[in-house]
Structure formats: C-alpha cells, structure tokens
Amino acid sequence: MATTTPSGRDKAQDFVERLENLRVSNNLTYAQLSQLSYKIARAAPYDRVLGFSPAAVSNWVNGDLPSKTGYVRAWVIACGVDEPERWVDEHTALLAARRRKSPTRTSMSEPEVTSGRIDSESPPVVRPPRKHRMLAAVTAGVVAGTLLLVGGDGALSPTRGAGQRPPNGANDLTPLRTAARCAENFSPPPAEQYPTSAWADEPGPSGAAHPDRLIELHFADFRPHGWVAWAEFATSSSDLDRLWLDWTYIRSPEIGATWQWRQCGPQPITAGTRSPAVLLTDGTGRDRWFRACGQVPPADRPSTSRAKSFCTGWHRPF
C-alpha cells in the first residue's frame, strides 16, 4: 500500500487532518470530543469503541496516528458519521502499512484500554501536547548547556558539588508549614482568553470498568501574575463529585505522605469545575510541583477498589 496520496502527501497525516476536520465542523472542543468518546464506549452496541482523553486528541492532531481502531471509531461516531467502518478500514490499512515499514514501532500516545476500560496493571502514559514537549526539549538543552552537576541528594544545581545542600530551598519543605492551603489563591485564567490543553489527565473512579470521570491538570502564563497551575474536572457524572489541586516543593512526594504537600481544596463540583490557581514559583523563587485530583461519592466507587480519589502524576511544565 502506498503511504502517500497522488499529490505526494503522507496518507497518515491526511487521515488525521480529515479526522480533525470532522471535529471542527461539529464545533467540538477536545474536552467535548473526549466526553462523547467515553459515553459512546459505555453504550451498546459499540463494544469496540475506546474512550480517549483531551491530551490524546492533542497528540493526534499534532501528527500522531491513533494506535487503535477503537479510538477512530469513537471519534467518527461522536462526529455523527453514519458509516464509521469505512474510516476504521482505512485506519486499519494505515496501521498495517506502518507496521510493515517499522516492525518495532510502538505508540506511547495513548493508554492501553479495552472497551472503554483502562488496564489497572498498565497505568496510562500521558504525553504532553507537542508545544509542551518542545518546551521540555529546549529546557533540557539549556540544562545540559550549563553543565549542571548532581549532588549527593540527587537535586540539580549549576554550581554546587557533591554532598552540598541545593540552593534556594530546593527540596526544602519548610515553606509548606506556613503556606496557605491554596497559596496565592488566584481565580483560574478565563478559558476564552487562555485556551489550554490538559498537561496531564486521569480517568476515574479508580478501578472502574468504565471510567466516567476525567480530572485534568492545566498550566498557563496568566499575566500579570506569571505561570500558574490549576485542576479541572473535565468530565463529571454527579453533583457530589469533588476536586482539588495538590502542590509541593519536591519533585516526587512519597505516596501517602500528606505532610509533603498542600491540598488546595477539596471543593464540590457545584462550586465550580476548576480549582483556584497557584503560582508555579513562589515569591522567593522556589519551584513547585502539582497534581490534580478528583473524588466521587461512595455510591459510585467500585466495590473492588478501596481508592477514594484519583489523581494525575506530579508535574510542572519547565
């Protein structure tokens, strides 16, 4: 099978662009398309439909071919296509051509799921949108260019040697003792002025066969304040759902060590789908890390799971 169109364009890229045109023509945002995909995945007779996150949509629109036909089937059904199998057949042929060309290629764009269910033994891999990946690559280059040295505690510094404490309070949790729960406690940036894609997201409730919630972590350069983070409940199924934003001064807090971070919230979904916004760097120049968390009422929690909440990983954009 030829991998280019008669005009010389890449067929996979052409296919993704036509998917995107479907979304745009139906006036669907990434979040709305994601919500529809999960609803369709839970409804009969579309047992071969897979739900996907807004972050996955961003990855595909920026050049990645969806790795499973279930994603394509959900996309086109959500956009009102009467004959989704024509799209699925074309996508299947593109995947086959790619495998023949690159037998060892594996996709890391989306979590592995079956029939709308996320495999609990294989945590979803959420890759930031391309513009964020580019920013991370540039940042990595700057770090390498300054010849950073690694000290005994594993933190990075441009000047110190092994065994010395990191400068500027890095890895120092002392500021948490006096910090307010929501730190600066800004109202999150207006969505119409600061449109953002989720940096990370997590479906819930934990352990559910068919997750019907989605919590997202967002970042934006909110002028004049600077870069801020907030949590957003992109998909909710109950007025009793709650959300919050956790933040800390260390990269990877210990699981369950709640004294290592501040919890901004929780707030009921009826008070708003977005948490207050917190600065990425405090007034003294200390960096912060963040995660977004959601919680569902006890009646909606799977009997097989003891988890009361579901959260993204810890992140900061640079």
In sequence order, the 6+-apart residues with CB closer than 8 A to the CB of 237 are: 212, 213, 296, 300
Q: Does the predicted model carry a pTM greater than 0.95? A: no
- CB atoms < 10 A from the CB of 24, how many? 11
| Section 73-84 average pLDDT | 90
Q: What is the pLDDT of residues 222-234, one digit of tens each?
A: 988 999 999 999 9
Q: What is the pLDDT of residues 248-279, one digit of tens each?
A: 999 989 988 999 999 999 999 999 999 999 99
| Section 53-65 average pLDDT | 81
Calpha distance 198→126 (Å, rounded): 10
The pLDDT mean for the chain works out to 76
Give Cα separations from 170 to 8, 151, 162, 174 (angstroms).
52, 12, 15, 10
Contact at 8 Å (CB) between 244 and 259?
no
Task: Please state, for a pLDDT cut of 90, what percent of the chain lies above it.
Answer: 36
Comparing C-alpha atoms, which of 213, 216, 202 is closest to residue 42? 213
- Give yes or no for residue 67 having a pLDDT over 90: no
Give, in degrees to the nearest 5, the angle at Cα 254 between 284 and 226: 30
Calpha distance 232→228 (Å, rounded): 13
- Give yes or no for residue 197 having a pLDDT over 70: yes
| Section 27-48 average pLDDT | 76
Contact at 8 Å (CB) between 316 and 287?
yes
219 burial type by CB count under 10 A (0-12 exposed, 13-18 middle, 19+ buried)? buried
- Give yes or no for residue 208 having a pLDDT over 70: yes
Calpha distance 128→106 (Å, rounded): 17
pLDDT for res 277: 96
Contact at 8 Å (CB) between 289 and 251?
yes
| Section 180-201 average pLDDT | 88
Calpha distance 47→221 (Å, rounded): 41
Domain boundaries, the chain: 11-118, 128-168, 172-311
Give Cα separations from 293 to 49, 74, 90, 184 (angstroms).
26, 26, 38, 19
88 burial type by CB count under 10 A (0-12 exposed, 13-18 middle, 19+ buried)? middle
